[in-house]
Structure 1
Amino acid sequence: MNWVEFSGHAYLVAFALYCFAFMFYVIAIAGQRWSNRDSKNHTQRWGRIAFFTSSVGLAGHLTFFFTRWYGSGQIPTSNMYEFMSFLAMAIMIAFTIIYLIYRKPILGMFATPLAVIIVAYASVFPKDVQPLIPSLNSYWLKIHVTTAALGEAFFAVGFAAGLMYLLRVVDYTRKDAKARKEQRWVEFTLYVIVVVIGFISIVFSFRGAGYEAHFTQENVTVDEQGQTITRVEQVQYDLPPIFKPYNSQVVSVDSFLGMNKPWFETPSWMNGINAGRKLNTVIWSIIAGSLLYGLLRLAFRKPLGAVIHPFMDGVKPSDLDEISYRAIAIGFPVFTLGALIFAMIWANEAWGRFWGWDPKEVWALITWLYYSVYLHFRLSRGWQGLRSAWLAVIGFVIVWFTLIGVNLIIAGLHSYAGV
């Protein structure tokens, strides 16, 4: 049996079950508004169905993980596809633990779509099993990456609960300056999520259409002896080139809506692997996300936060605040072990130093310091409610940049993760 191929089927099953679980959670929460009978029984019944479905999906996800591990002979966390897949699985594990503690179905309405988005995002990257580079060929890969991702997964659940708190307490009927400011920031958070969905949608759309653009790029570097080295590399785009690579020539560009050549050249100061292609992807993601957001606003004729807000009626803000804090409190020591302590031990083994100011190391430290401040303000200064929720939301933005921005945009020793 081809275990890697089998794992791919298990992955699709897990994705489908997560989608169904999300719909069932929506029915459990939103459906009670239209239920003429006991809304509490309605929520409990559909909440149990949704939790069972998400649990079976998690079982499928675990099957994917272990069968791919068995089939490839290495733990599947060594590239972006594998790591993001593992992160989505870890989020569902963290959600399951938190759900069993608090029994709040509404948490599933926000946690499961987060897992769905990350699973879909992971599928954008190459799915082939790639051999481990020397620095990754260590048992510390299993320890460091899994614990760091599990800590980040609890941060993600804290983010989901924090965002729910904001959607619950921000009053969209008020028109004063303070209320409008809160509404704009909540709406911007939702807009960023829509942009991520837009990125996934547009990549799959152009990939399904078989779109390609090819360039030859001339890269000039200077070695340690001061000699100039010129290399000509081939660059392929899967999206129409708004920005072509710096110092490159067009080989071929598929026409799209009359767009058969690049509009701009990537600035020379943008460093990193495939900087032009990544800038082009970011621009297309913003365009697609903005169009999708605009269509949603046109359909609902009100801010997305105002659309979601009524479904949060009946949910105690104090419960959401407690869930967000507990999730982060659980994730913090796990993240500390995985992203700092185990990471430094592995760095010393792989590169001969505990700390080297690599971009990924720096941003992992920034993330740890941020959540340290969050816990300090929460426990010592009594920051609860609205301020705590905003800190939880902003914290996961930092986590997301550490995972995505550093791997894909900033060049460093961890750039292999963006392959």
Structure 2
Amino acid sequence: MNWLDISSTAFIIAFFLYCAAFIFYAVAIGGKRWSNRDPEAHNRRWGRIAFATAILGWAAHLTFFFTRWAGGGHIPTSNMYEFMTFLAMAIMFAFIIVHLIYKNNLLGAFALPLVVIIVAYASVFPSEVQPLIPALNNYWLKIHVTTAATGEAFFAVGFAAALVQLLRVVDFSRTDKKGRREQRWTEFVLFFMVIIVGFLVAVFGFRAGGYEAKFQQESVSIDQQGVEHSKVQTVEYGLPPIVKPYNSEKLSMDAFLGMKEPLFEAPSWMNGVNAGRKLNTVIWSVLSGLILYAVLRLISRKPLAARIHPYLGDIDPEDLDEISYRAIAIGFPIFTLGALIFAMIWAQIAWSRFWGWDPKEVWALITWLFYSAYLHLRLSRGWQGTRSAWLAVIGFLVVLFTLIGVNLVIAGLHSYAGA
């Protein structure tokens, strides 16, 4: 039995079931406004269908996880592809728990797109099973990564509820300075999510077209004895190279919109053979996101947040506030154990020190401190409602940077994410 083939099939099934569940949740929420007979019955019926579909998707995702574990010989959390797929599965687990407690269909309409985006983002990375490097070949990997991801998953559900809350309570008819500021920042959060979707559209679009560019880069390093060492490496691009690697020459490059040469070179202070490619990816993400956002704005003919706002009029923002807080309160101790305590134990075993100020360690600490401040302000200072929702949203943006920015942009001991 080929476990990896079963795993790949289960992963595809899970993705499409998640997409279907999101559509059903959208029908439950949006169709409620158009149902003339019994809007509440319509919401409950389609909500049950959506939740059942989401459960089936999660079952397929579990099948992917365990069959990949059986076929690969180790828990599939060792690279960026495996970790992001596990995170998506953990977010679904957190969503199921919170949904069973509060039974709020609107949460599914925002949590499922987040899962779909993360699953699609995971598919950007190489999916081949890779042998474990020595630092990862330890059972503390299983404990550290799974608990940290589970904590982040509950933060994601808290983010989804908080974002819905903001879209519900922000008054888009206000023209005063404070009102416009709230509208702009709410729109910016949606724009940030569109940027991620734009990145996925660009990557899969050029991948489907078979785009490729290659550069040869020479790097020089000096060891402790003052001896120079020269190293030549090949860097492959899957997106048209607006930025080429520093101190490199072109080996091959497919033309794109008349562009046959990169527009400029990565700065010398950007370390690493892949620094230019990463900067190029960031530029393409922003460009694709801007184009996608412009198209959505043309379709909606108003800010996206203002377009969504009318559909949330019958939702109690206090319920969303409670859901967001409870999800974060559940995730915080799990994240504390996984991202700090268990991580320190693993670091001592892998690198013979509990703490080394590695970028991933620093940002995990920043994330923990931020959510500590959130809980302190919530419990001790009475921060509820809009202020609490903004903290939940900002906190998850910090989590996303820790997962994406630190792994892919900042070089460190955790830079084993895959090309």
TM-score for both structures, normalised by structure 2:
0.99
Q: Give the alignment's Cα RMSD to 1 decimal.
A: 0.7
For 2:98, the equivalent position in structure 1 comes to 98
Residue by residue over 1:259-296, the C-alpha shift from the partner in whole angstroms, topping out at 9 and shown as x without a partner, is 11100100111124511000001101110110000011
Paired AA for residue 396 in structure 2:
F
The answer for the alignment partner of 2:151 in structure 1 is 151
Match of 2:68 in 1: 68
Name 1:307's counterpart in structure 2.
307
Q: Secondary structure at the match of 2:417?
A: helix
Structure 1 position 316 matched with structure 2 position 316: yes
Q: AA paired with 1:344?
A: M
Following superposition, the deviation at residue 37 of structure 1 comes to 1.2
Structure 2 equivalent of residue 341 of structure 1 = 341
Shift of 1:251: 1.1
Letter of the structure 2 residue corresponding to residue 235 of structure 1: V
1:18 CA drift (Å) = 0.2
Alpha-carbon displacement from aligned partner over 1:389-413 (angstroms, at most 9, x marks no partner) = 0000000011011111111111111
Query: What residue number does 2:168 align with?
Result: 168
CA distance in 1, matches of 2:418, 2:11: 21
Matched, 1:357 2:357: yes
Which residue is 2:52 aligned to?
52
Matches of 2:22 and 2:253 in 1, distance apart?
A: 39
Kept after mapping to 1: 8 A contact 2:360/2:402:
yes
Gaps of 5+ in 1: none
Paired residues in the alignment total 419
Tell me how far apart the structure 1 counterparts of residues 418 and 236 of structure 2 sit (CA, whole Å).
16
Aligned residue runs from structure 1 range 26-37, under 5 A: 26-37=26-37
Question: Structure 1, residues 54-106: CA drift from partner, whole Å, max 9, x if none?
Answer: 00000000000000001111000000000000000000000000000000000
* Contact 1:272 1:409 (8 Å CA) reproduced: no
Amino acid at match of 2:371: Y
- Corresponding residue number in structure 1 for 2:134: 134
Matched position secondary structure for 1:417: coil
Q: How many angstroms apart in 2 are the aligned matches of 1:242 and 1:218? A: 19
Provide the C-alpha distance between the structure 2 equivalents of 1:272 and 1:108, rounded to a whole number of angstroms.
Answer: 40
Name whichever of 21-30 and 222-231 sits farther off. 222-231
Q: Map 1:6-405 to 2 at 5 A.
A: 6-272=6-272, 274-405=274-405
Does structure 1 conserve the Cα–Cα contact (< 8 Å) formed by 2:81 and 2:417?
no
Range that drifts further, 250-259 or 325-334: 250-259
Q: 2:126·2:418 contact (CA, 8 Å) conserved in 1?
A: no
The Cα offsets for residues 138-195 of structure 1, whole Å up to 9 and x where unpaired, read as 0011100000000000000000011000000001111111111000001111001001
Contact 1:216 1:232 in 2 (8 A): yes
- For residues 379 and 396 of structure 1, the distance between their equivalents in structure 2, rounded to whole angstroms, comes to 19
SS of residue matched to 1:173: coil
**Amino acid of the structure 2 residue aligned with 1:354:** F
Q: 1:300 Cα deviation (Å)?
A: 1.1
Fraction of identical pairs, as percent = 70
Unmatched 5+ stretches in structure 2: none
User: Distance in 1 between the 2:214 and 2:410 partners?
Assistant: 23
Q: Distance in 1 between matches of 2:401 and 2:155?
A: 13
Mapped to 2, the partners of 1:330 and 1:268 lie a distance apart of 44
Matches of 1:407 and 1:415, distance apart in 2: 5
Decide whether the 8 Å contact of 1:20 with 1:53 is kept in 2.
yes
1:412 maps to what in 2? 412
**Kept after mapping to 2: 8 A contact 1:17/1:57:** yes
Deviation at 1:417, TM superposition (A): 2.5
- Using the alignment, how far apart are the partners of 2:271 and 2:170 within structure 1? 41
- TM superposition outliers: structure 1 runs of 4+ over 3 Å: none
Aligned-residue offset at 1:418: 4.1
In the superposition, the TM-score normalised over structure 1's length comes to 0.99
Take 1:98 and 1:300, find their aligned partners in 2: how far apart are those partners?
A: 31
SS for the counterpart of 2:146 is helix
Partner of 2:4: 4
